[in-house]
């Protein structure tokens, strides 16, 4: 049975369609292009969750931009933050003079990004800001705010468009909520 069939059977509700996401990402790209005009924009994607968002967002940015990737892990296979951030892949370029834009899939407790922002600020970029496709402000455990947000969400665990549950569902083109029984299997 192809994966798409399993995926569709597992889905409780679609929150944002591919079209809705595409439109919002285009708006974010236009805003970022205007704000970073004349700056040294470096878009830093936090793998793996933000890879789909990054790929779309960077193509809707119309000014010169560099890209880099970091990989961190803050969750195990479950749906709750462990609170422990592990750097799996770091960047190896100097950040001095760069206008750093952290590209995140979702801001949940905020622990991952708070840790990353502090680590990267220590490397003296010219500026450091955050764009997140999704924000769950009700879940925030630390004091961190995104500078650009795609969509604000209630406290629900979602998958698709890069976001996973137990490393699956990242390749869905839309964002949705899984049926409760999928999590307990
Ligand atoms: P935070 O440190 O709690 O803000 O967690 C950030 C990371 O947790 C994200 O980059 C995601 O990998 C993961 N995460 C948080 N909420 C969700 C969700 O609803 N679905 C899938 N992954 C999530
Ligand atoms: Mg994850």
Q: How close is the Cα of 178 to the center of ligand 1, in Å? A: 15
How sure is the predictor about 3, in pLDDT bands with cuts at 50, 70 and 90? low
The DSSP string of 123-155 is T-BSEEEEEEEEE-GGG--SS---SEEEEE--S
Neighbours of 180 (CB within 10 A): 8
Burial of 34 (0-12, 13-18, 19+ CB in 10 A): exposed
State if residue 49 touches ligand 1 by the CB under 6 angstroms criterion.
Answer: yes
The DSSP string of 30-44 is HHHHHHTTTS-EEEE
d(CA 148, CA 163) in angstroms, rounded, equals 18
pLDDT digits (tens, 9 = 90+) for 26-60: 999 999 999 999 999 999 999 999 999 999 999 99
Tell me if residue 158 falls in helix, strand or coil. strand
d(CA 34, CA 65) in angstroms, rounded, equals 13
Task: Report whether pLDDT(82) > 80.
Answer: no
How sure is the predictor about 2, in pLDDT bands with cuts at 50, 70 and 90? low
Q: Is 147 a catalytic residue?
A: no
How sure is the predictor about 183, in pLDDT bands with cuts at 50, 70 and 90? confident
The 8-class DSSP code of residue 168 comes to: B
**Unique residue bearing structure tokens 């569709």:** 8
- Check 56, 99, 108, 135 and give the catalytic one: 108
Nearest one of 61, 49, 155 to 105, comparing CA atoms: 49
pLDDT digits (tens, 9 = 90+) for 134-167: 999 999 999 999 999 999 999 999 999 999 999 9
State if residue 157 touches ligand 1 by the CB under 6 angstroms criterion.
Answer: yes
Tell me if residue 96 falls in helix, strand or coil. strand
Task: Give the per-residue pLDDT at 78.
Answer: 57
């Amino acid at each position: 049975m192809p994966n798409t069939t399993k995926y569709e059977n597992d889905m409780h509700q679609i929150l944002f369609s591919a079209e809705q996401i595409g439109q919002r990402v285009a708006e974010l790209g236009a805003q970022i292009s205007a704000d970073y005009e004349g700056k040294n924009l470096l878009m830093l994607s936090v793998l793996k969750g933000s890879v789909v968002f990054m790929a779309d967002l960077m193509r809707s940015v119309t000014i010169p931009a560099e890209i880099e990737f970091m990989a961190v892990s803050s969750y195990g296979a479950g749906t709750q933050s462990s609170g422990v951030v592990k750097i799996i892949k770091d960047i190896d370029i100097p950040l001095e003079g760069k206008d750093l834009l952290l590209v995140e899939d979702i801001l949940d407790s905020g622990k991952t990004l708070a840790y990353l922002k502090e680590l990267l600020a220590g490397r003296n970029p010219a500026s450091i800001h955050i764009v997140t496709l999704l924000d769950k402000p009700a879940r925030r455990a630390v004091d961190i705010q995104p500078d650009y947000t795609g969509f604000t969400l209630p406290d629900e665990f979602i998958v698709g468009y890069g976001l996973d549950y137990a490393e699956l569902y990242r390749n869905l083109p839309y964002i949705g909520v899984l049926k409760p029984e999928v999590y307990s299997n």
